[in-house]
Amino acid sequence: IGITSLLANGVYTSAYPLHDGDIDGVTAEPNDRKLLFEEWASYSVFYKYQPIGLIRKYFGEKVGLYFAWLGVYTQMLIPAAIVGVIVFLYGCATVDDNIPSMEICDPRNNITMCPLCDSACSYWKLETACGTARASHLFDNPATVFFSIFMALWAVLFMEHWKRRQMRLNYVWDLTDYGMEEEDHNRAEYELRVAEKTMRQDQGAAKVGLRLEMVISDDSWLSLVCLPPSFQIFITFVITFGVILYRISIKTALHLSTYPAARSNIRATVKTTAAIINVIVIIILDEIYASIARWLTTLEVPKTDKSFEERLIFKTFILKFVNAFTPIVYLAFFRGRLVGRPGKYLYVVGSYRMEECAHAGCLMELCIQLCITMLGKQLIQNNLFEIGIPKLKKLLRKRKSELTSKQEEELHKTLKRYEKDHVLGPFVGINPEYMEMIIQFGMVTLFVASFPLAPLFALLNNIIEIRLDAKKFVLELRRPIAAKVKDIGIWYNLLRGLSKVAVIVNAFVIAFTSDFVPRLVYQYTYSPDGTMHGFVNHTLSYFNVSDFQNGTEPNPPNFNVKVCRYKDYREPPWSNTPYELSKEFWAILAVRLAFVIVFQNVVMLMSDFVDWLIPDIPKDISFQIHKEKLLMLDHFMKEEGRRRDNHNHDGYTSPSSGSASPHSRPTFHARAGW
Amino acid sequence: IGITSLLANGVYTSAYPLHDGDIDGVTAEPNDRKLLFEEWASYSVFYKYQPIGLIRKYFGEKVGLYFAWLGVYTQMLIPAAIVGVIVFLYGCATVDDNIPSMEICDPRNNITMCPLCDSACSYWKLETACGTARASHLFDNPATVFFSIFMALWAVLFMEHWKRRQMRLNYVWDLTDYGMEEEDHNRAEYELRVAEKTMRQDQGAAKVGLRLEMVISDDSWLSLVCLPPSFQIFITFVITFGVILYRISIKTALHLSTYPAARSNIRATVKTTAAIINVIVIIILDEIYASIARWLTTLEVPKTDKSFEERLIFKTFILKFVNAFTPIVYLAFFRGRLVGRPGKYLYVVGSYRMEECAHAGCLMELCIQLCITMLGKQLIQNNLFEIGIPKLKKLLRKRKSELTSKQEEELHKTLKRYEKDHVLGPFVGINPEYMEMIIQFGMVTLFVASFPLAPLFALLNNIIEIRLDAKKFVLELRRPIAAKVKDIGIWYNLLRGLSKVAVIVNAFVIAFTSDFVPRLVYQYTYSPDGTMHGFVNHTLSYFNVSDFQNGTEPNPPNFNVKVCRYKDYREPPWSNTPYELSKEFWAILAVRLAFVIVFQNVVMLMSDFVDWLIPDIPKDISFQIHKEKLLMLDHFMKEEGRRRDNHNHDGYTSPSSGSASPHSRPTFHARAGW
């Protein structure tokens, strides 16, 4: 309490533990910092295990556990990445045998599709979607189903593996009995609030009105806590919707433009720019939301530092998660589903038609979005925020001091350790690093059904991330105050929650976003010869062009086209109930939902089984702990016995107590930490 | 080991701890057994809490925990029973406002239904199903959905409540650190097997052939373990099927019989007799399966006694569970679904038509089955097996000794304690009692959606069960050897598994067995005026009587009927695809499946939330444990310091060590058990 109040009063500007010594120059004598720099914080040792013991010794348990966790996560990503690549390669290898994309690419089928926008667009031939259809197959094939199940089990295995590793580290670091002894100190802000409340209550003992006011202020304070996050989530939704509108309007504008070059690249341009805008918005909002979450938690005045940290983390997580995943969820589950049908399109904000998906489902666009989000977030956040900005700051400082490098080196030698460390950035906690990784874990598990390369991307990023974080901790930041913790706390629960949500999300992605279920249903019920031939035709409904609403028909009109096709399961114009949802639609919907139920329950059962199969505590560790308990008990018993003997000796001069002299006492080797 | 080998050799016939004394007669001095009999093992104290401390003192922790668990379970059943009764009363109160049953009962609708069996049965009027329809409403109304959600949360609350109670008992009984010290001794059978194996290996060192044989025998031993349970499950299925066949054939026979009285009571008679046969078969198989499970586990030769017990319990549980629930699952999910349709019925074993449900769904029959199973099992097992048979045995023993009651009393006085206890039954473990309760827990949670009175039945049974078991333990059995356990072991996992399975089973019961979803869909999409009017007509399909297969039309034919109705969603005879499943069928199926997904995930989320909300260890207990750890640490530190001082004193004659005399040592009150 002493140093913090001095810091708060401005007597000191900052307080921090000193680094062990310099890492560069020939003058530096060997020290732990230099050792860490050479053996850990360097890209050249990326293939080596991290020296977790040394990290813990230098930075404390909290930082040590983070790097241990990151190491386990990265290690576990290796098999996931390998299987993901195999699944992707399977898609590449079978793309030429895929009957639906062959049928789409075959110009002999000559299918005329309904226009993609009102009046400005014309009818188009299905074979122009050939490229997209072939690309979609890379991510939408039966191997993806297998891969989602694999990744769900992978997540469980990862959690189990980490639990065991944590237990082992707890044992090695002597934390098995820690946590019970930990005292949760109340935060100064909380004490202040309680004091204020008590004071007000004392004052208000006479005036009951005041007390009432206090109760009211308490209530309004609650609403303060609940409202802003919902408001922020609302803002995220608005922005996502804004990006959708941008896509729609740009697309319309490009369609209207007369340059043929622009028109031919419409789809690619719009998709990519929109995804990039999304990523930039996500990154900017992330920074804003982090500070809002901190401000909100301060308003809440939690009781202890631990509860403060947990609430802050939880709030930040919710906001960042919604922020990162809203565009992806839109693409996966809503895009192309709220379109309406030819002749009765759904319009938003006046006259904008909702976007349709490319012919072979929205999976391809989801893929691109995931790819850009993962790459973009990682590239921009890592390179710009974590490397670029510190470098820039250093450069600016150098420019300011206006010294030549020679002079500076000279000066550097004369500086004291605490002066050298003062120019480094302050340590702001390990939570932002965890947060980044948890969001990445979400990307890897949640939508893995649509992007099997996600684990590979994550793996490549993490190999760099470990060393990058290491460099930051060793070189760029002041040494943190060592914090003793037993586990990774709320992060474990968040991971567990994510891996549970992942099962149901993947079930829905496979059932609804991919064409897996319709293909299966077609092959086993509607197909005349049990093959996929005719599937494309089966997924397309008919539309009589005379049923277009006024002003929405293509302009100039194409009088050769009487009937165009669109992707949906609806009755043809010549049925009794034209354009109604057909029986096929409902049958396929039922199968999709049944698939979700079966998938979710089977995967959950398998996960529970794996969870039950692997003991939480490694056998050798539990044996060791058991042995130590016995030794301890034994020692205690002996002490008790000896004391009783001593007592007898003192009180009754019993003759049998002579053997209990201090010299004959058995030596007892308890491990430190008891 | 000593006494068990003597027992095995037949030197002693039995070994058991003695009871404290007699409980009857004026001569008996006050003792714990008498106290237990008066305060616990008597129906007159059924409203009192159990004296758990005394039970534990007299019978040991294992029995104590069972009764504590049974107490918590019974107590938790009270709110469940109350809510269940309210739900049932709600059904009773709204039965007259229920439009579908009103429509069924209205003779003006005059709906002619297709015959229920081939040739012997005639067409029937829907209004004759009026009673069943009204009764069905008691168990199939919107309140049932609420009740299933309530019971899922109730199960979670029960588990949490028990965890906390167990923790508290652990603390009070000084078991918090127990379990670590527990040594798992290898079973004698296992040691023998290992010894035999080693011997054979030694012999086979020269002959490799023998070793190979051993490997083969090991494999065949594995198949021995896996095959019989599957065989038993198969037998259970066969018997269930047999009962179904019995019902079908009896029904046909009764239809054929000419007595009008017999024909009018057909349904009720068949239902009730079949359910009773089922119950009797279940009870008989239960006894057989228990011994088979024991035999199988002996064959497996598990390593330790604990693993032997767990394997035995798990096997017995699976067999008994399948045995008890197969007929219920058949009624809930398969009955009436594999019927086929008029003109194309499904026939089994030659010419038996599969049974249809009564008009208002199979829920009513499921209800009757559950009711009879619960009542019957409890009545028969409790009264016959647990009261009747011991009484009978006692009677036989008395008859044998051929003494008058006067003489016997005289003799009784002269008997030694061990002679008196020898005539009592041997203690066979607490597991059969647990098993009975777990199966009951399954009945209460698994199909609660179809039978809201189940908790009430269970509650009434348990109030008796507690005292019945108590009487048995105090009066009828020899005193068990006290066993120290920390928790209820595998039973907790089984309970947890059951409550997880219950969520999905209830979701399916509501979605598929009850008419909840079709009613909802009708009201919000097909109904012309947004009410339930016309629902019954909507659920019935049309059948043209000229499409009957040869020989299946009613005999004598009724020429007035041209079209009859049956319960299904199929195209009418005048459509392009007559008797195909209609669009409504698929739409309702999709909604049913969507309901399952929503129900399961919402309930799971709520359960996880409740689980997370309630801490596993009560706050006061965790505080106490924490305080004791600190005291212990403190004591240890002081001892260490004192010893170091002593050492100094002895070795170096340090002057500061004089204060560490045994007399000035602070007294340390550790709770026993450390």
Of B431-440, B565-574, B587-596, where does the model show the most confidence?
Answer: B587-596
Strands in B124-125's sheet, in edge-to-edge order, are B124-125, B112-113, B563-567, B540-544
Alpha-carbon gap, residue B468 to B382, rounded angstroms: 8
- CA-nearest residue to B623 within chain A is A180
Provide the pLDDT for residue B368: 80
Who wins on pLDDT, A175 or A350?
A175
> CA of B453: how far to CAs of A92, B85, B138, B362, in Å?
59, 6, 11, 17
**Sequence-distant contacts of A283-287: CB under 8 A, at least 24 apart:** A283/A377, A283/A380, A283/A381, A285/A235, A285/A236, A285/A239, A285/A323, A286/A320, A286/A323, A286/A324
DSSP helix/strand/coil, B110: coil
Q: What percent of chain A has pLDDT over 70?
A: 78
- CA-nearest residue to B575 within chain A is A576
Q: Shortest CB distance from A647 goes to which of B633, B643, B662?
A: B662
List residues of chain B with CB under 8 Å from any CB of chain A: 177, 180-181, 504, 582-583, 586-587, 589-590, 593-594, 596-597, 600-601, 625-626, 629-630, 633, 636, 639, 643, 646-647, 650, 662-663, 665, 674
What integer is the mean pLDDT of B213-225? 46
For B424, phi and psi rounded to 5 degrees?
-75, 160
Average pLDDT value for chain B: 78
For B27, phi and psi rounded to 5 degrees?
-70, -25
pLDDT of A149 above 70: yes
Provide the pLDDT for residue A489: 80
Burial of residue A195, with CB atoms counted within 10 A of its CB: 0-12 exposed, 13-18 middle, 19 or more buried: exposed
CB spacing of A181 vs B593 below 8 angstroms: no
What integer is the mean pLDDT of A402-429? 71
CB contacts of B179 in chain A (<8 Å) are none
Q: What percent of chain B has pLDDT over 70?
A: 78
CB contacts of B627 in chain A (<8 Å) are none
Comparing A251-265, A492-506, B10-24, B135-149, which segment has the lowest mean pLDDT? A251-265
- DSSP track, B341-400: ETTEE-EETTTEEPPPPPTT-THHHHHHHHHHHHHHHHIIIIIIIIIIHHHHHHHHHHHH
- Chain B closest CA to A553's CA: distance in Å? 31
CB spacing of A587 vs B586 below 8 angstroms: yes
> CA of B412: how far to CAs of A148, A509, B23, B415, in Å?
73, 77, 13, 5
- CA-nearest residue to A179 within chain B is B626
Mutate to test the interface with B, among A174, A505, A506, A593 (most CBs of B within 10 A): A593
pLDDT of A82 above 70: yes
What integer is the mean pLDDT of B276-304? 75
pLDDT of B154 above 70: yes
DSSP helix/strand/coil, A47: coil
Strands (DSSP E) along A351-455, which ranges? 352-353
Alpha-carbon gap, residue B205 to B572, rounded angstroms: 78
pLDDT of A665 above 50: no
pLDDT of A261 above 60: no
CB contacts of B645 in chain A (<8 Å) are none
CB contacts of B674 in chain A (<8 Å) are 633, 636
Q: What percent of chain A has pLDDT over 90?
A: 11
pLDDT of B674 above 50: no
Of A397-401, A505-509, B128-132, B196-200, where does the model show the most confidence?
Answer: A505-509
Alpha-carbon gap, residue A600 to A584, rounded angstroms: 24
Comparing A327-336, A449-458, B351-360, B595-604, which segment has the lowest mean pLDDT? B351-360
pLDDT of A320 above 50: yes
pLDDT of A422 above 50: yes
pLDDT of A73 above 90: yes
Alpha-carbon gap, residue A126 to B646, rounded angstroms: 94
CB spacing of B597 vs A601 below 8 angstroms: no
CB spacing of A643 vs B633 below 8 angstroms: no
Alpha-carbon gap, residue B536 to A138, rounded angstroms: 49
Alpha-carbon gap, residue A492 to A438, rounded angstroms: 10
Q: Is the dihedral of CA A588, A589, A594, A599 positive or negative?
A: positive
CB spacing of B587 vs A582 below 8 angstroms: no
Q: What pLDDT band is residue B666 in, cutting at 50, 70 and 90?
A: very low
Q: Shortest CB distance from A583 goes to which of B181, B586, B663?
A: B586
> CA of B137: how far to CAs of A208, B94, B250, B367, B515, in Å?
54, 8, 28, 12, 10
Provide the pLDDT for residue A595: 94
Amino acid at A566: Y
DSSP helix/strand/coil, A337: coil
- Global ipTM: 0.81
Burial of residue B27, with CB atoms counted within 10 A of its CB: 0-12 exposed, 13-18 middle, 19 or more buried: exposed
Residue B556, preceding peptide bond in cis (omega within 30° of 0): yes
B446-468: string of b/e by CB count within 10 Å (b at 16+)?
bbbbbbbbbbbbbbebbbebbbb
For B14, phi and psi rounded to 5 degrees?
-160, 160
Provide the pLDDT for residue B79: 95
For B353, phi and psi rounded to 5 degrees?
-85, 140
Of A189-193, A484-488, B309-313, B498-502, where does the model show the most confidence?
Answer: B498-502
CB spacing of A180 vs B594 below 8 angstroms: no
CB contacts of B587 in chain A (<8 Å) are 586
CB spacing of B662 vs A674 below 8 angstroms: no
Q: Is the dihedral of CA A442, A443, A444, A445 positive or negative?
A: positive
Inter-residue contact B283 to B381 (CB < 8 Å): yes
Q: Shortest CB distance from B646 goes to which of A504, A594, A662?
A: A662
Axis-axis angle for helices B266-300, B208-256 (nearest 10): 170
pLDDT of B671 above 50: no
pLDDT of A623 above 60: yes
Q: Shortest CB distance from B633 goes to which of A181, A586, A665?
A: A181
CB spacing of A626 vs B589 below 8 angstroms: no
Provide the pLDDT for residue A404: 62
Who wins on pLDDT, A151 or B236?
A151
Average pLDDT value for chain A: 78
Provide the pLDDT for residue A396: 78
CB count within 10 Å of CB A234 equals 11
Alpha-carbon gap, residue B400 to B394, rounded angstroms: 10
What integer is the mean pLDDT of A583-607? 93
Alpha-carbon gap, residue A444 to A229, rounded angstroms: 26
CB contacts of B582 in chain A (<8 Å) are 583
pLDDT of B383 above 70: no
Show the tokens assigned to B114.
Answer: 């297709």
pLDDT of A654 above 50: no
3-state SS of chain A: helix, strand, coil percent to 5? Answer: 70, 5, 25
Longest pairwise C-alpha distance within chain B:
122
What does the pLDDT look like over A327-362, one tens digit per residue?
788 888 887 777 788 878 877 666 667 777 766 567
CB contacts of B629 in chain A (<8 Å) are 177, 180-181
- Chain A closest CA to B490's CA: distance in Å? 12
What does the pLDDT look like over A200-257, one tens digit per residue?
766 655 454 444 444 444 444 445 555 566 776 777 677 767 767 776 666 666 666 6
- CA-nearest residue to A669 within chain B is B640
pLDDT of B673 above 50: no
Show the tokens assigned to B58.
Answer: 């007299």
CB spacing of A629 vs B504 below 8 angstroms: no
Mutate to test the interface with A, among B490, B508, B597 (most CBs of A within 10 A): B597
Q: Across-strand partners of B124?
A: B113
Among B330, B407, B409, B418, which Cα is nearest to B366's? B330
Show the tokens assigned to A330.
Answer: 């839109």
How many residue contacts between A and B have a Cβ separation below 8 Å? 64
What integer is the mean pLDDT of B444-461? 88
> CA of A624: how far to CAs of A161, A631, A667, B180, B620, in Å?
19, 11, 19, 11, 30
What does the pLDDT look like over B607-635, one tens digit per residue?
988 888 888 888 888 888 888 888 888 88
Amino acid at A66: Y
Q: How far apart are the first and last CA of chain A?
A: 27
Inter-residue contact B40 to B54 (CB < 8 Å): yes
Show the tokens assigned to B460.
Answer: 């009434």
> CA of A521: how far to CAs of A515, A542, A597, B19, in Å?
10, 20, 17, 70
Provide the pLDDT for residue A286: 76
Provide the pLDDT for residue A657: 37
Indicate the helix (H) or strand (E) that contains B532.
none
Amino acid at A67: F
Who wins on pLDDT, A204 or B142?
B142
Provide the pLDDT for residue A388: 74
Alpha-carbon gap, residue A150 to A139, rounded angstroms: 16
CB count within 10 Å of CB B236 equals 22
CB contacts of B625 in chain A (<8 Å) are 180
Of A330-344, A458-472, B321-335, where does the model show the most confidence?
Answer: A458-472
What does the pLDDT look like over B342-351, one tens digit per residue?
878 877 666 6
Residue A556, preceding peptide bond in cis (omega within 30° of 0): yes
pLDDT of B287 above 80: no
3-state SS of chain B: helix, strand, coil percent to 5? Answer: 70, 5, 25
Show the tokens assigned to B53.
Answer: 């401390």
List residues of chain A with CB under 8 Å from any CB of chain B: 177, 180-181, 504, 582-583, 586-587, 589-590, 593-594, 596-597, 600-601, 625-626, 629-630, 633, 636, 639, 643, 646-647, 650, 662-663, 665, 674
- Chain A closest CA to B590's CA: distance in Å? 4
pLDDT of A115 above 70: yes
- Chain B closest CA to A306's CA: distance in Å? 17
Alpha-carbon gap, residue A515 to A297, rounded angstroms: 44
Q: Are strands A540-544 and A563-567 parallel, antiparallel or unpaired?
A: antiparallel
pTM of the model: 0.83
CB contacts of A593 in chain B (<8 Å) are 590, 593-594, 596-597
What does the pLDDT look like over A518-564, one tens digit per residue?
999 999 988 888 888 888 888 889 998 888 887 777 877 777 888 88
DSSP helix/strand/coil, B527: coil
Q: Give the distance from CA B387 to its chain's centroid.
A: 21
pLDDT of B416 above 80: no
CB spacing of B626 vs A180 below 8 angstroms: yes
pLDDT of B509 above 70: yes
Q: Shortest CB distance from B181 goes to which of A589, A629, A639?
A: A629
What integer is the mean pLDDT of B416-421? 74
